[in-house]
Amino acid sequence: MTLLSLQDLRVTIATPEGPATLLDGVSFDLAAGEQLGIVGESGCGKSMTALAVMGLLPAAARAEGHVIFEGKNLLALDEDALCQIRGRRIAMVFQEPMTALNPVKTIGDQVAEGLRWHMGLGRGEAETRAVKLLDRVGLPQPRFAPGLYPHQLSGGQRQRVVIAIALACDPAVLIADEPTTALDVTSQAEILDLLADVTAEARMALMLITHDLAVVWQNTASMLVMYAGCVVERGTTAAVFERMAHPYTRGLLAASPHALDRALPAGRRLATIPGRVPDPQHRPQGCVFAGRCSRAAPDCLPGPPAERALEDGHRVACLHPHGAELPA
Amino acid sequence: MALFLVQRLTALVITLLVASLLVFLVMEVLPGDPAAIILGVNARADTLAALRAEMGLDRPAAERYLVWLGGLVTGDLGRSYTYGVPVWELVGERIGLTLPLALMAIVLSTALAIPLGVLAAARRNKPADVGVMGFTQLGIAIPNFWFAMLLILLFAVHWQVLPAGGFAGWDAGFWPALKTLILPAVALALPQAAILARVTRSSVLETLGEDFVRTARAKGLSRRAALWRHAVRNALIPVVTIMGLQFSFLLAGTIIIENVFYLPGLGRLIFQAIAQRDLIVVKDLVILLAASVVVVNFVVDLLYAVLDPRLRGGQHVV
Amino acid sequence: MSSETQTSALREYWQRGRGQANLMIGLAVTLTLVAVALVSLVWTPYTVSAIDIPGKLQPPSADHWLGTDQFGRDVLSRIMAGAVNSIAVSLVAVGIGAGIGVPLGALAAARRGLVEEVVMRFNDFTFAFPALLSAVMITALFGPGAINAIIAIGIFNIPVFARLTRAAALSLWKRDFVLAARVAGRGRTRITIDHILPNIASLLIVQMTIQFALAILAEAGLSYLGLGTQPPNPSWGKMLNEAQTLMFIAPQLAVFPGLAIMVTVLGLNLLGDGLRDLLDPRLRRLR
């Protein structure tokens, strides 16, 4: 059952030099309980996608297309209606736990705030629920009293608080934007396990945004690869890793410092992808990756490549994908 | 926190000691013999010498400095040359005007500036913001004594609803006395409010860009709720610093404003004492004003701890 | 930098600055002020100090656009001449402040250690004294007059420039190109002159504009208290002081000199804001 559906989402932002395209026709579906990974380099539009779903794009940005959630187009809703959905039906966990919490409010208040705002709970009841939530995310009492301030916690502990805030109203979709990037390695694994646990327990859909292929591999069932505001490859995580049809996906893997022993051919060294991401003000007419692609051919330049289906719902937006035995 | 307090207190005492030394030295090198000023140009040499001895002016400078300093600490500020009364009495009399005036001005400017600053930030680049910013540009550009004169022209000359100057005295009753302080307080408050509103605006704008405000919005809080519950309190931390610094401008402002309105307060007293070369009064008042500025800024440091729990310390959870 | 690239940089600034209302209004007001001051040196509608008792306290008219004062002197002429006074006092005062403050701040940043400590303590210390109070003291004790007013205002500009220069210079000293110059064996003074000062020049220009506006306000305040420019030399502050006693008879006298101060300060502040937007690369990127 599709819960959230993005259809041809385009986001442009006004700059002094003219409009810049940040998302260029992003479409995907997210089902209840699904764990979807979105992977790509910084600036590829994965965070913009999350912010567009949340309705929290920067003031200068404009979104077109459809973001359908529970039958409503979020892009057409007014601010009040969006406030009813944010935090209550769709919640978000951010990248920087050090700055995502208000330094002058206690963690208990910050977790309880959403409950009081959406559920109209009283102070006492909200705090009782907040304490339970803290416990659920691995911050047990009495060591992690709700009266603590963020500066008294470590980065990993703060990220648990951020997760507790997101879980407070039992949302249907949880968006986690690089939730472990700012953490040390041990905390990373713990936080990812926690996210997997809590979402599975409540059949919550998880949208896990990361630049790290290893994180996607370990934590998601399906995935999207994004490049320069476009989805270039999608499918089940297993299928995408198996085939790695888009040259960009391969480049991303080769450049990944968290080398996946399984997927990395023996003897391959870490590589970099040559060239640079196209300027969002001057996007190429054709394939956005063509300028950096070793497989680029003249037919890549006139227009953007359409997505083509491989087996098992695996799709790639490339005219010359890896794996030569493509069906015509 | 305790260490921080001790450090700040030590710095405070040192600043005041250096200030007292500087003030004393400035008064030393000034031309003019206080005894001669009191007795006039035709005084006989022996009367002059006698008075100098009585006032202690024949003693070495270092000794006189220590005596003066000791007096400051024990509360003996000495005797005014021109008024012939203890300086404490003069100060006590006049502070009853200047302190309420300064407080009124602070309350007024804060009450005006913070809502305006927050409003401007919330409506960035909208008409409300442009209007507030225009108002603050004017407020900063208007000399406060001229603004005071315009207020007198309007409220005293044209509409005749408030007095043009003078102080009724608290004995005349609360309202009549307060009435004479309204225009001076407004004149003092306006430039401060203009600056404070600008500081508030930029501070709120900066805070609105913080990640935790986005977290609050992601919880579903409306723009307004995120602004008031999450941005404003954090934004007030730098605003309080500026308010502390403004206190010293406010004191300086009373020198001019009390002159415009003929108010017998500390500002006018210090101005007159300088003109009359009543050096002991000048010395004492300058040190008192410097002390109040330093102490106010110390209090501001303490206020930080109230606004920002990070400064209160608290154990890190291990 | 060759003169050609300089010209093209200037042209680029002009292209960008033309669209900024702040900057253009500020520039227009400031240039007008300077023009009025220059004109008044050679021509004013009436002789600045010509007394005409029968024609005193006239309201504005075709003969006297802004009316006459209690001695029958032409108010417009006196305001024009007052501009010279305001500009001269403020220019020298800000010059003193920047002339002493900038080297002090640069020295503190270059030397660190004890030198910096002394400079910064002195700075902290000046904050304990309200600048105007100290200026009142200096002018009152050393005698009223334009020169002492300049010194008094100038002294309190020193810490402003010292603080700003030190803060900006400190961050530059950590930058790669300065480190490179140090590795190449350049002396601290040489680096300060070749690399530090050119890079903070725009910051200093902006601050000077703002301090200039503050100095005009301070000079007006001191003259209003009778401690600045002495009669018969015209000064805006003094004119307001004289107008105050006549407020019930000739309220217009209290209006024009104040307007002159306000417009001047407003223009300078707008110019300062506009220059900051134009020159500050950090803000430029954000816009």
Residues B211-237: what's their mean pLDDT? 91
Sheet holding A72-73, edge to edge: A18-31, A2-15, A61-69, A72-73
Query: What pLDDT score does B228 carry?
Result: 92
Query: What pLDDT score does B261 carry?
Result: 94
Taking only the tens place, the pLDDT of each residue in B284-293 is 988 888 888 8
Query: What pLDDT score does C286 carry?
Result: 37
Q: Which residues pair with A24 in a beta bridge?
A: A10
The two structure tokens encoding residue A317:
């937006």
Contacts 24+ apart (CB under 8 A), A62-65: A62/A11, A62/A12, A62/A13, A62/A14, A63/A9, A63/A10, A63/A11, A63/A23, A64/A8, A64/A9, A64/A10, A64/A11, A64/A12, A65/A6, A65/A7, A65/A8, A65/A9, A65/A10, A65/A25, A65/A26
Under a CB-based contact definition with an 8 Å cutoff, are residues B44 and B307 in contact?
no
Q: How many percent of chain C have pLDDT more than 90? A: 32
Query: What pLDDT score does A325 carry?
Result: 52
Residue B48 CB neighbour total at 10 angstroms = 16
Taking only the tens place, the pLDDT of each residue in A69-104 is 998 999 999 999 999 999 999 999 998 888 999 999
- Min mean pLDDT across A48-52, A289-293, B312-316 is at B312-316
pLDDT over 50 (residue C1): no
Under 8 Å CB pairs connecting chains B and C tally to 117
Who among C129, C225, C262 is closest to B142 (CB)?
A: C262
Query: What pLDDT score does A277 carry?
Result: 81
Is A37 strand, coil or helix? strand
Residues B45-50: what's their mean pLDDT? 83
What's the CA gap between A318 and A301, in Å, rounded?
12
The two structure tokens encoding residue B142:
């208007």
Taking only the tens place, the pLDDT of each residue in C73-123 is 888 999 999 999 999 999 999 999 999 999 999 998 888 888 888 887 777
Interface test with A, best of B126, B212, B223 (most A CBs within 10 A): B212
**pLDDT-derived band at A324, boundaries 50, 70, 90:** low
Who among A103, A110, A148 is closest to B310 (CB)?
A: A103
What's the CA gap between C64 and A231, in Å, rounded?
76
Residues A137-145: what's their mean pLDDT? 91
What's the CA gap between A107 and A153, in Å, rounded?
10
Q: Which amino acid is at A114?
A: G
**pTM of the entire predicted model:** 0.83
Report CB contact under 8 Å: B150, C258. yes
For chain B, the chains sharing at least 3 beta-carbon pairs closer than 8 angstroms are A, C
The H or E element containing residue A250 is helix A247-254
Report CB contact under 8 Å: A102, B215. yes
Residues C125-141: what's their mean pLDDT? 75
pLDDT over 50 (residue C285): no
pLDDT over 50 (residue C283): no
Report CB contact under 8 Å: B218, A102. no
Under a CB-based contact definition with an 8 Å cutoff, are residues C209 and C268 in contact?
yes
Taking only the tens place, the pLDDT of each residue in B187-208 is 999 989 999 999 999 999 999 9
Q: How many percent of chain C have pLDDT more than 70? A: 93
Residue of C nearest to B261 (CA): C244
Residues C165-190: what's their mean pLDDT? 87
Residues B232-260: what's their mean pLDDT? 86
The two structure tokens encoding residue C216:
């005009």
What's the CA gap between A129 and A135, in Å, rounded?
10
For chain C, the chains sharing at least 3 beta-carbon pairs closer than 8 angstroms are B
Closest Cα to residue A86, out of B220, B215, B213?
A: B220
The H or E element containing residue A252 is helix A247-254
Query: What pLDDT score does C281 carry?
Result: 54
Report CB contact under 8 Å: B255, C132. yes
Residues 39-98, chain A: which have Cβ within 8 Å of B? Answer: 54, 56, 79-80, 83-88, 91-92, 94, 96
Query: What pLDDT score does C143 carry?
Result: 79
Query: What pLDDT score does A199 carry?
Result: 92
Closest Cα to residue A70, out of A173, A152, A142, A169?
A: A173
The H or E element containing residue B203 is helix B174-208
Higher pLDDT, B309 or A1: B309
Higher pLDDT, B284 or A256: B284
Scan for tokens 């000077």, then name that residue: C208
**pLDDT-derived band at B184, boundaries 50, 70, 90:** very high
Q: How many percent of chain A have pLDDT more than 70? A: 94
**pLDDT-derived band at A118, boundaries 50, 70, 90:** very high
Cβ of residue B41 closer than 8 Å to a chain C Cβ: no
Report CB contact under 8 Å: C127, B245. yes
Residues C201-223: what's their mean pLDDT? 91
Who among B217, B230, B309 is closest to A56 (CB)?
A: B217
Residues B241-269: what's their mean pLDDT? 88
Taking only the tens place, the pLDDT of each residue in C255-266 is 999 999 999 999
Query: What pLDDT score does C2 carry?
Result: 53
Query: What pLDDT score does C287 carry?
Result: 32
CATH 1.10.3720.10 fits C17-283, yes or no: yes
Report CB contact under 8 Å: C129, B286. yes
What's the CA gap between A164 and A157, in Å, rounded?
11
Residue B77 CB neighbour total at 10 angstroms = 22
Residues A136-157: what's their mean pLDDT? 92
